[in-house]
Amino acid sequence: MTFEYRNKQLHAEDCAIRDLVAAHGTPLYVYSHATIAANWQRFADHWPAPHKLCYAVKANSNLAILNLLASLGAGFDIVSGGELARVLAAGGKAEDVVFSGVGKSRAEMVYALEQNIRCFNVESAAELERLNDVALELGVRAPVSLRVNPDVDAQTHPYIATGLKANKFGIAMKDARGVAERAANLPGIVLCGLDCHIGSQILKVSPFLDAADRMLALIRELREQGIEIDHLDMGGGIGIPYQQEDAADVSGYLQALRKRAEAVGGLTLLLEPGRAIVGNAGVLVTEVEYYKPGVDKNFLLVDAGMNDLIRPALYQAYHAIQPVKQSAEDANLVDVVGPVCETGDFFGHARHLAAQEGDLLAIMNAGAYGFTMSSNYNTRPRAAEIMVAGSDVHVIRQREQLEDLWKGEQLMEKLR
């Protein structure tokens, strides 16, 4: 296990969390190099070339993590020009990048075309027309995969469901044929694939395969019309167990997907895993500032806040919370809350924990959508990030200083 107790002290690989805190303070993100690599290999073992894994950069975009994944052969799924710049700065290759997202700007299209990315995942007819115009202005043709909304209910949180017809993402299945015909005839577009993404934090295989069946049927229909499609991107969305659920059957899903694609023939498959690669590879360590008994409930007030990890406040997401030092003391029923001036600033309700002022807690499974969604709300510097590899410790992001927070701001000149 990556995070386990040794002599009652929680360790990350061979590093005691308490020692990391002594050197680097709290709040502190700690990631495991070995777990990221092992999670990646779990996919790669069932995904031979020419099929491609494109890590979803939005899950965790630290340069050191992107560099590690690039060294393992990863492609990258991006949703902004900024993420493309990060991938390139980390040593990733533009030709291994697919560009998703519903609102690509003209400037982002120009930048991505200039870098010669692998493919744009186009999400609307309007985007297709704009991309065609931009490509013609640059004297190139843009490689395009159409993101189709297969109207599959992934039965996940409504904020992270993306495959229903009510969602903003993708082109409706009923419109897909017409948009594909238009794409095939635009002079600045090379239509090469179809794409779908039905949501996030999905632990059952059946919704993915249901979506795949619908997409493969569409590919057959388009080929019958003379529109050649040579790749299918099934997006990401594979979840991780946050509350001891059964883990997703990754190998079963990948093998079933490959079998279905082989029956159609002539298809390269792409996947965009993110959370499944980094989610369980990180923890957020925080120090208890106060134990506050109350009339109706008791509170542990910690130094991390919703600005550091917003998932519980945003999605009512569950994260296990563990003491860094195991204790024989009786546990109290507490709410673990932060210092931010919002009632929604919490990490867990009604948790059984034995902790007092000065104790350390680890918020588990915080490697995905943790730091990458953090902010400076309440003028709070963002946490430091640490990567451990065995007994080696690497600071992969320095803790922000207060002066960093108003860099670029300036006072108005005095009115005359």
Which residues make up each annotated binding site for pyridoxal 5'-phosphate?
237, 272-275, 369
In the annotated binding site for substrate, the residues are: 275, 311, 315, 342, 369
For the chain, the first-to-last Cα distance in angstroms comes to: 66
Q: How far apart are CA 164 and CA 150, in angstroms?
A: 7
Helix, strand, coil percentages (3-state) for the chain, rounded to 5, are 35, 25, 40
Catalytic residue among 54, 119, 196, 341: 341
Positions of E strands within 80-185:
97-99, 119-122, 142-149, 171-172
Q: How far apart are CA 245 and CA 248, in angstroms?
A: 9
Instruction: Using alpha carbons, list the distances in angstroms from residue 193 to 201, 219, 259, 269, 284.
Output: 25, 9, 18, 10, 39
Based on the residue annotation, tell me whether 196 is a catalytic residue of this protein.
no
In the annotated binding site, the residues are: 237, 272-275, 311, 315, 342, 369
Strands 360-363, 384-389: pairing is unpaired
Q: Residues 200, 240: contact at Cβ < 8 Å? A: no
Q: How far apart are CA 270 and CA 268, in angstroms?
A: 7
Enter the tokens of residue 335. Answer: 């709410």
Q: What type of residue is 194?
A: L
Q: How far apart are CA 341 and CA 350, in angstroms?
A: 20
- Residue 115's Cα: distance from chain center in Å? 23
User: Which active-site residues does the annotation give?
Assistant: 341
